[in-house]
C-alpha cells in the first residue's frame, strides 16, 4: 500500500508504506527535519511522531512559524506545571493553553498563596527539568479510563473536562513523572524548552464563572532564542511604563474607582482629550455625508426581542423594571437607529441614508475580564448606520473603508484587515450571507486592500470587516469594524419605495471608527506614552514666570493664547523654577514658555519643547503662528 503526501507547493511525495511526519520532513530536507516542531495533516496539527497511513495534504512548522511558537509555548506551560507539581505536591491543574506572546496555567494551590518571588523558585525547577532532556510522549487512553485515572489522582478539573468530551479516546502527554490531559502537539523533549520566563500571577475563576473557585493563573512566555526573549521583556517593561491606567492617574485624565468597577470617571483634562476626539469625529462625519442622531439609553424588552438581542445577547444586558414592564439598558445602538429610520417613508432617492451616533452603551462584563478603559461595562460607541439599496452596497463599503483609513492616518496608525464570515448561531439565508460576504470581499479587493479571512467569527446578523490597529510597540488592537446586515431591516420591516413604485427592503451597514471612545483613548494614551501630539494635548502650553515679577506678564500672554483657542495655563506657584519646569515635563505638556525680565521687557517668550528642548526666544506672534499651524496640521513631530 503506497501513501501519497501532497506538499504545500503542490508536489507529491510517495511512500511505499505508512510513514511518520518526521520521516516525511526528512525526505523534504534534513535541515527542515532538524528544525521541525510539528506537522499538519489534512488541516489537523500533530506531533512529528504521528503516523500517516493514508493519502493526505501535509505541512511542516518550525519555530519561525506562529504555529511552531504556539507548540513551544504550550509545551513550556506543561514544563511549568511539572515544576509546580514537584514543589507543591497537592496542586491541582485546570487548563494551560498557549496564548498570544506566551502561555498561562490555571492552578488550584489548595489554600496556598503564591508570591511574586515564588516565580523564581518555579523557574529554577523548570531549568532542572530542561537539563534532564526528558522525552515528551503522547499516549492514548479511553475516555472512561482517563476519567478513572484522574479521579484517583484527585484531579477534579481534568475529570470535569473529560466528562464533557464527546470522544471515545483521549490523548495524554507524559514527561517523566508528570502526565497531563492534552490534545497536543508538543515538542519532542523538555531539553528543547530552554528559553522561558514567568511574567506574572493573577486570579481567574474556573471557567470564567464567578460562582466557581478562584484559581491562581501564572503567565509566562517562551522563545527559540534568548535574544528574542530579552527583546520581548524590554517591550513588556515599556508596555508597563505606558500602561494607560497608570498614566491616566499620573496625568489626571481618568480612573476607575472601587465604587464603580468597570464604570470609568473622566476628569477635566481627560474630558478635554475626549471632547477633541468627538469634535474631530463630528466634523469628519459631516464632510462624509452623515447626520447625527441620539437614541434613548433604555428601551423596552419587545424592541430587544425584535432585534434578536434578547435571544443572542441577554446575558450581557442590564435589565430593569419600569411600570411593571421589562426594559433593558442598551448594549448596542442599532435598534434605536432602526426606529429612527422607520419614523417616516423613504424613497430610493433618499438612499443611502447615513446616520451617526455617539451612543453610551452598557454591557455586563465579568469582573475578571475588566481592564482599565480597554474592557469596561459602559462605553460610548461611535456608531453609524447606513441604509441603502442592494446596488449601493459596494460603493458604501468603499466609502466607509476610506473614511476609517483617513482617521487612522491622522494618528499615525498602521492597520491590518480581517474579514469574518458566518458564525454557527447566525440568522438569515445562505443566499443573503453569500451576497453580503461577497460584497465585502469585492469592496476590499477593488480598493486594493489585503485582508485575512476569519472563518465563523462574523456577527449573528452578518459578516464583518475588522480593522486591527498597530501601535508604537507593535501591539495590535481591534477598533474599527464594518458589518453588513440583511437581518435587522427584515426584523424591523424597514422599507423604501423603489423606481418601480413598489416597496423594497433596504440593506444596512453597522460601522464604528474608534470602536469605543474610552478604549480608543486608552490605546492613544499607550501609543503616545501620554505625550499626546499638540492638537490632542489637554494642556498645550505651560507658562513659567521666573519670579513673581513676571507673573502678571505670564497671565497676560496666557489670556491671549486662550482667546485664540490654545489651551494654556500659568504655573506661578511659590516653587523654584526648575521644579515647575520638571512638573510640566512630567505632565508631558508640549510647550513651556519660560518668562524672565528680558522677555517681559521685549514682549517675547522663551520657548521650550518637551522633546527638542530649548527653541530660543520668539515674538508672541511667531510662537502663536507656529502653534496654530501645528494644531491645524494635526502634526505629530513632537
Q: Which of 82, 175, 381, 587 is an active site residue?
A: 381
Q: Is 464 a catalytic residue?
A: yes
Question: In the 3-class helix/strand/coil scheme, how is 292-332 assigned residue by residue?
Answer: ECCCCCEEEHHHHHHHCHHHHHHHHCEEEEECCEEEEECCC
Catalytic, out of 45, 354, 363, 422: 363
DSSP one-letter code for 81: H
Grid cell, residue 98, equals 498557549
Beta bridge partners of 502: none
- Grid cell, residue 189, equals 523533549
Is residue 511 within 8 Å of residue 400, measured between CB atoms?
Answer: yes
Of 346, 377, 464, 588, the catalytic one is: 464
363 catalytically annotated: yes
What is the bridge-based pairing of β-strands 196-205 and 214-222? antiparallel
Q: Which whole-number Å values give the CA distances from 91 to 76, 83, 86, 112, 585, in the listed order?
A: 18, 11, 9, 9, 49
CA distance 482 to 466: 7
Give the separation between CA 209 and CA 315, rounded to whole angstroms.
13
Q: Is 371 a catalytic residue?
A: no
All three cell numbers of 416:
491590518
3-state helix vs strand vs coil in the chain, percent to 5: 40, 30, 30
Residues with Cβ within 8 Å of 164's Cβ and at least 6 positions away in sequence, in order, are none
Closest residue by Cα to residue 273 from 483, 593, 588: 588
Q: CB within 8 A of 257, min separation 6: which ones?
A: 265
Q: Which runs of consecutive H residues, i.e. helices, occur in 94-189?
A: 118-132, 143-153, 156-163
Buried-exposed string 457-467: b where 16+ CB fall within 10 A, e elsewhere: ebbbbbbbbbb
Residue 429 has a CB neighbour count (10 Å cut-off) of 11
Q: How far is CA 409 from the centre of its chain?
A: 19
Report whether 526 contacts 239 (CB < 8 A).
Answer: yes
Q: Chain centroid to CA 421: how far?
A: 19
Q: Exactly one of 197, 354, 377, 510 is catalytic; which is it? A: 510
The Cα–Cα gap between 424 and 562 comes to 56
Strands 541-545 and 591-595: parallel
Confirm whether 383 is a catalytic residue: yes
Identify the active-site residue in 334, 378, 479, 558.
334
| Distance between CA atoms of residues 126 and 358, nearest Å | 51
DSSP state of 476: E
Residue 381 designated active-site: yes
Choose the catalytic residue: 383, 471, 485, 571: 383
Count other C-beta atoms under 10 Å from residue 3's C-beta.
18
Catalytic member of 354, 385, 511, 588: 385
Q: How far apart are CA 480 and CA 409, in angstroms?
A: 13
Question: Which residues, 6 or more positions from 430, have their beta carbon under 8 angstroms from its beta carbon?
Answer: none
Query: What letter does residue 111 receive in the DSSP assignment?
Result: T
Pairing of strands 92-93, 102-108: antiparallel
**531 HSE (CA, 13 A, CB side):** 15
For residue 618, is it left (φ>0), alpha (ψ between -120 and 50) or beta? beta
Residues identified as active-site: 334, 363, 381, 383, 385, 464, 510
Amino acid at each position: 500500500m503506497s501513501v501519497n503526501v501532497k506538499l504545500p507547493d503542490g508536489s507529491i511525495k510517495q511512500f511505499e508504506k505508512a510513514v511518520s511526519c518526521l520521516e516525511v520532513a526528512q525526505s523534504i530536507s534534513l535541515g527542515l527535519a532538524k528544525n521541525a516542531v510539528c506537522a499538519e495533516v489534512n488541516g489537523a496539527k500533530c506531533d512529528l511522531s504521528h503516523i500517516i497511513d493514508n493519502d493526505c495534504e501535509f505541512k511542516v512548522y518550525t519555530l519561525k512559524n506562529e504555529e511552531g511558537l504556539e507548540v513551544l509555548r504550550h509545551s513550556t506551560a506543561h514544563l511549568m506545571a511539572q515544576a509546580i507539581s514537584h514543589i507543591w505536591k497537592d496542586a491541582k491543574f485546570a487548563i494551560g493553553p498557549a496564548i498570544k506572546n506566551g502561555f498561562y496555567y490555571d492552578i488550584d494551590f489548595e489554600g496556598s498563596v503564591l508570591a511574586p518571588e515564588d516565580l523564581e523558585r518555579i523557574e529554577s525547577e523548570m531549568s532542572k527539568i530542561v537539563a534532564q532532556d526528558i522525552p515528551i510522549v503522547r499516549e492514548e487512553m479511553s475516555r472512561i479510563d482517563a476519567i478513572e485515572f484522574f479521579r484517583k489522582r484527585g484531579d477534579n478539573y481534568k475529570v470535569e473536562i473529560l466528562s464533557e468530551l464527546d470522544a471515545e479516546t483521549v490523548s495524554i502527554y507524559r514527561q517523566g513523572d508528570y502526565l497531563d490531559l492534552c490534545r497536543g502537539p508538543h515538542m519532542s523533549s523538555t531539553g528543547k524548552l530552554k528559553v522561558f520566563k514567568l511574567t506574572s500571577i493573577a486570579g481567574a475563576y474556573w471557567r470564567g464563572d464567578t460562582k466557581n473557585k478562584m484559581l491562581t493563573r501564572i503567565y509566562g512566555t517562551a522563545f527559540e532564542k534568548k535574544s528574542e526573549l530579552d527583546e520581548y521583556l524590554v517591550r513588556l517593561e515599556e508596555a508597563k511604563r505606558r500602561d494607560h491606567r497608570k498614566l491616566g492617574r499620573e496625568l489626571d485624565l481618568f480612573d476607575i474607582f472601587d465604587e464603580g468597577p468597570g464604570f470609568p470617571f473622566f476628569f477635566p483634562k481627560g474630558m478635554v482629550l475626549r471632547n477633541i476626539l468627538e469634535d474631530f469625529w463630528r466634523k469628519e462625519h459631516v464632510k462624509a455625508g452623515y447626520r447625527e442622531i441620539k437614541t434613548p439609553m433604555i428601551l423596552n424588552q419587545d424592541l430587544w426581542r425584535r432585534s434578536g438581542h434578547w435571544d443572542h445577547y441577554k446575558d450581557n444586558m442590564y435589565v430593569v423594571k419600569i411600570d411593571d414592564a421589562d426594559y433593558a439598558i442598551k448594549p448596542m445602538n442599532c435598534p434605536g437607529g432602526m426606529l429612527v429610520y422607520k419614523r417616516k417613508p423613504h424613497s430610493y432617492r433618499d438612499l443611502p441614508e447615513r446616520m451617526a451616533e455617539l451612543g453610551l452603551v452598557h454591557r455586563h462584563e465579568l469582573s475578571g475580564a475588566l481592564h482599565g478603559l480597554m474592557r469596561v461595562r459602559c462605553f460610548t460607541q461611535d456608531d453609524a448606520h447606513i441604509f441603502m439599496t442592494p446596488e449601493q452596497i459596494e460603493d458604501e463599503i468603499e466609502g466607509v473603508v476610506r473614511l476609517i483609513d483617513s482617521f487612522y492616518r491622522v494618528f499615525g496608525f498602521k492597520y491590518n484587515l480581517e474579514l469574518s464570515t458566518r458564525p454557527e448561531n447566525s440568522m438569515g439565508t445562505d443566499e443573503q450571507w453569500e451576497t453580503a460576504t461577497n460584497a465585502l470581499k469585492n469592496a476590499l479587493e477593488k480598493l486594493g486592500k489585503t485582508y485575512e479571512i476569519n472563518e465563523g467569527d462574523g456577527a449573528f446578523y452578518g459578516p464583518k470587516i475588522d480593522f486591527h490597529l498597530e501601535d508604537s510597540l507593535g501591539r495590535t488592537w481591534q477598533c474599527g469594524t464594518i458589518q453588513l446586515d440583511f437581518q435587522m431591516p427584515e426584523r424591523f420591516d424597514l422599507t423604501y419605495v423603489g423606481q418601480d413604485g413598489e416597496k423594497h427592503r433596504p440593506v444596512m451597514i453597522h460601522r464604528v471608527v474608534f470602536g469605543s471612545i474610552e478604549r480608543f483613548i486608552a490605546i492613544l494614551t499607550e501609543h503616545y506614552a501620554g505625550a499626546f501630539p499638540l492638537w490632542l494635548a489637554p494642556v498645550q502650553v505651560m507658562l513659567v514666570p521666573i519670579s513673581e515679577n513676571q507673573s502678571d506678564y505670564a497671565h497676560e500672554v496666557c489670556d491671549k493664547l486662550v482667546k485664540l483657542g490654545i489651551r494654556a495655563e500659568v504655573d506661578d506657584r511659590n516653587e523654584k523654577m526648575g521644579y515647575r519646569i520638571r512638573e510640566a515635563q512630567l505632565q508631558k505638556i508640549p510647550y513651556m514658555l519660560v518668562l524672565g525680565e528680558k522677555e517681559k521687557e521685549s514682549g517675547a517668550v522663551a520657548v521650550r519643547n518637551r522633546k527638542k528642548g530649548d527653541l530660543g526666544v520668539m515674538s508672541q506672534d511667531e510662537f502663536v503662528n507656529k502653534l496654530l499651524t501645528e494644531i491645524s496640521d494635526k502634526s505629530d513631530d513632537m
